[in-house]
A and B are shown apart, each in its own frame.
Chain A
């Protein structure tokens, strides 16, 4: 059964999967099951162990997407999207409940890569931070060469990644993102949230 799953993942991966990756995926499948149990108890986080490889994305796709997410929520005094493992949120969810977006990611990332090569003659990941910001704005506003984009449109793709990045960064850590409660710490939210107080006097709550 796990064999089928691996074929499925490899088949969906346009860049092909090396034997080594396949072996790693076997580990993820096993780990995924264990994490699932942990998740329902509300204690999932990757902690200091090595981050797992991807279920859906190729290494190249992941590198590009990580750079885009980091633009959306950059590191400053506090963690950004990369530190918080937003990529693992997206990767895990589009291999599950958000599977309907797989095609948009595959095609959108390819169009995105081509856009940067054509406009900047450089892969997005290698652009300086400020240039990356300009490039992303170009796509957000729909001003990149349109012949490089089909379905999803540049704007639709941007909106999709924007929303998923926010979910992965600000949502519960149990879904693969918000590693080490990065956003909760930034916002001063206790997690698991502290049980409130239960005080009352003379029959009235205080």
Chain B
């Protein structure tokens, strides 16, 4: 028995899926948006550090839960380990309506022009599947703009001299710097760098019916208690619902995209909130489950023409798992620098994203979002006491006298860094789980060390009397910035979808999330994923023939 057929079923209500649901339902398609989590709720976890999306020692505030979910990860020496979502190795983002956009820090980056052309810019890199995107910044620019205006970004137009050209200003004015930001701004200018206020998916003034930020600084890892942070859960998804064409079904875990013998997607099977297996048929299917889960779902969707999984004829599904190695430095100051005032991270530089001598790529550097007491108890300069009176004294003395500058390294895609489906381990619904393995490219470590040294120099200039660097390890990539597992491209032999997110050989199956990224920029990825949601939707709308997607 199948449920009433709809035009489109979208899997996952996060950054990409939320946008697609709105765009298609506004265009008149009937849409079912399936999300494995529930609606987010600030009150449930408040500003509780230990159950947040930043620190997960007692669980993830916005899912998934430890009881029903697991993954298998490589231990690096040929062995495997089963992990639950509160374990960092699980590589979690989130699971609720809005997903990471509920608890994100909300930095709103457009990638730079070169980020779409790394292969052309740097040529090939040994040990990497480095490639240009099949689309350019100019292709995506109108969709970045749409994301900025519909979802809401506060920023200072023209302040970043390295940014790609833009047609429209940001819709909201930037956040002013907090104390840290002011000190770092002056130091950066003295160093000849180009600091600017970070664009944020957050209301600096009332916008589109939601209030302005109250500057409490609890953005990253937490939901916003006044709803001033802009995610898909409080912007595009409500807009989709308002059309009357979209239904969101929460607590719905999709297990398979059903593909018929002629190679067309017929719909999806999912377990509903009562754990009943349902079959939702549709004219087209869009998978937006995030880089790890999208790959898993495709691999779990086996059919006559695609026995190794949907879109996986050439073994590219799940490959090139990327994220961001985060490197930087801490500095200690003689006076208070931390003032509990949002918008948390306020200042950034893009001087080191490209053009670093002898290096491929680079990354943005910014100050830290928030200082949390338990997290800070694990942050000490080399050789400092880890317990006892001295440890406590450090905590008391430097909680507000410590500044961190940190940034995401643009990672080199590695073919062996991958998501597979585990042959043995299943989740609570009996669905084979994702298995993650591989390690970062050596270039990421080199660039990371370079960025850490630059961060340290910046802090020294700002007056830090003691500084220390934090580097990155070779370990498995992915995590909150996971991307790259279903690369878009022109050649079906070396990519999973075409440049519009349409899966090669399955005309009515699309992907719209971080999986599409060929490379992941030296920036947090959410705005790019949202822009891709608009981009993919635009293509679908143009090919929609009133009853079906053109073949």
Residues on the B chain within 8 Å of A193, using CB: 47, 216, 218, 340
Residues on the B chain within 8 Å of A172, using CB: 46-50
- Minimal beta-carbon separation of A21 from chain B (angstroms): 26
Interface size on B, residues (CB 8 A): 46
B389 touches A170 (CB 8 A): no
A205 touches B387 (CB 8 A): no
* Interface segment, one of B126-134, B370-378, B431-439, B449-457: B370-378
B389 touches A196 (CB 8 A): no
From 175 to 213 in chain B, residues with beta carbon under 8 angstroms from any chain A beta carbon are 175-176, 204-205, 211-213
Q: Answer yes or no: A126 CB below 8 A from chain B CBs.
A: no
- The verdict on A97 contacting B59 (CB below 8 Å), with A172-B48, A187-B395 known, is yes
Q: How far apart are the CA atoms of A192 and B218 in the complex, in Å? A: 12
- Minimal beta-carbon separation of B344 from chain A (angstroms): 11
B342 touches A196 (CB 8 A): yes
- Minimal beta-carbon separation of A92 from chain B (angstroms): 10
Q: Which of A97, A133, A140, A203 contacts B58 (CB 8 A)?
A: A97
From 53 to 85 in chain B, residues with beta carbon under 8 angstroms from any chain A beta carbon are 57-59, 66
A170 touches B374 (CB 8 A): yes
Q: How far apart are the CA atoms of A123 and B179 in the complex, in Å? A: 50
Q: Answer yes or no: A4 CB below 8 A from chain B CBs.
A: no
A93 touches B58 (CB 8 A): yes
Q: How far apart are the CA atoms of A162 and B58 in the complex, in Å? A: 16
- Minimal beta-carbon separation of A38 from chain B (angstroms): 13
A76 touches B392 (CB 8 A): yes
- How many residue pairs bridge A and B at CB < 8 Å? 119
A175 touches B217 (CB 8 A): no
- Minimal beta-carbon separation of A86 from chain B (angstroms): 12
Q: Answer yes or no: A107 CB below 8 A from chain B CBs.
A: no
A205 touches B49 (CB 8 A): no
- Minimal beta-carbon separation of A76 from chain B (angstroms): 6
Q: Answer yes or no: A206 CB below 8 A from chain B CBs.
A: yes
- Minimal beta-carbon separation of B105 from chain A (angstroms): 16
Residues on the B chain within 8 Å of A162, using CB: 386-387
Q: Answer yes or no: B263 CB below 8 A from chain A CBs.
A: no
Residue interface mask B329-348, A partner, CB < 8 A = 1: 00000000000111000000
Residues on the B chain within 8 Å of A167, using CB: 50, 57, 374
Residues on the B chain within 8 Å of A203, using CB: 173, 205
Residues on the B chain within 8 Å of A175, using CB: 48, 50, 58
Q: How far apart are the CA atoms of A192 and B215 in the complex, in Å? A: 15
From 160 to 177 in chain A, residues with beta carbon under 8 angstroms from any chain B beta carbon are 162-163, 165-167, 169-172, 174-175
Residues on the A chain within 8 Å of B47, using CB: 172, 192-193
Q: Answer yes or no: B382 CB below 8 A from chain A CBs.
A: no
A196 touches B214 (CB 8 A): yes
- Minimal beta-carbon separation of A160 from chain B (angstroms): 12
* Interface segment, one of A7-15, A54-62, A66-74, A111-119: A66-74
A196 touches B341 (CB 8 A): yes
Q: Which of A41, A80, A186, A195 contacts B214 (CB 8 A)?
A: A195
Residues on the A chain within 8 Å of B173, using CB: 203-205
- Minimal beta-carbon separation of A127 from chain B (angstroms): 15
From 88 to 139 in chain A, residues with beta carbon under 8 angstroms from any chain B beta carbon are 93, 97-98, 133, 136
- The verdict on A197 contacting B392 (CB below 8 Å), with A73-B387, A93-B58 known, is no
A174 touches B387 (CB 8 A): no
A71 touches B388 (CB 8 A): yes
Q: Which of B226, B341, B377 contacts A166 (CB 8 A)?
A: B377
Q: How far apart are the CA atoms of A172 and B51 in the complex, in Å? A: 9
Q: Answer yes or no: A198 CB below 8 A from chain B CBs.
A: yes
Q: Answer yes or no: A157 CB below 8 A from chain B CBs.
A: no
- The verdict on A170 contacting B373 (CB below 8 Å), with A74-B389, A192-B47 known, is yes
From 21 to 47 in chain B, residues with beta carbon under 8 angstroms from any chain A beta carbon are 43-44, 46-47
Residues on the B chain within 8 Å of A169, using CB: 377
B49 touches A76 (CB 8 A): no
Q: How far apart are the CA atoms of A145 and B217 in the complex, in Å? A: 48
Q: A97-B59, A167-B57, A204-B205 are in contact. List 15 more A-B contacts (CB 8 A).
A: A41-B43, A42-B43, A72-B387, A72-B391, A73-B392, A76-B393, A97-B66, A98-B58, A171-B49, A172-B47, A187-B400, A196-B213, A196-B342, A198-B213, A205-B175
Q: Supply 23 A–B pairs (Cβ within 8 Å), ascending by A.
A: A42-B43, A71-B387, A71-B388, A72-B391, A73-B391, A76-B389, A80-B392, A165-B387, A167-B374, A170-B374, A172-B48, A175-B50, A175-B58, A187-B373, A193-B216, A193-B340, A195-B216, A203-B173, A203-B205, A205-B173, A205-B204, A205-B212, A206-B176
The 10 closest A-B pairs by CB, nearest first: A196-B215, A170-B373, A196-B214, A170-B374, A196-B216, A171-B50, A72-B387, A172-B48, A166-B377, A204-B173
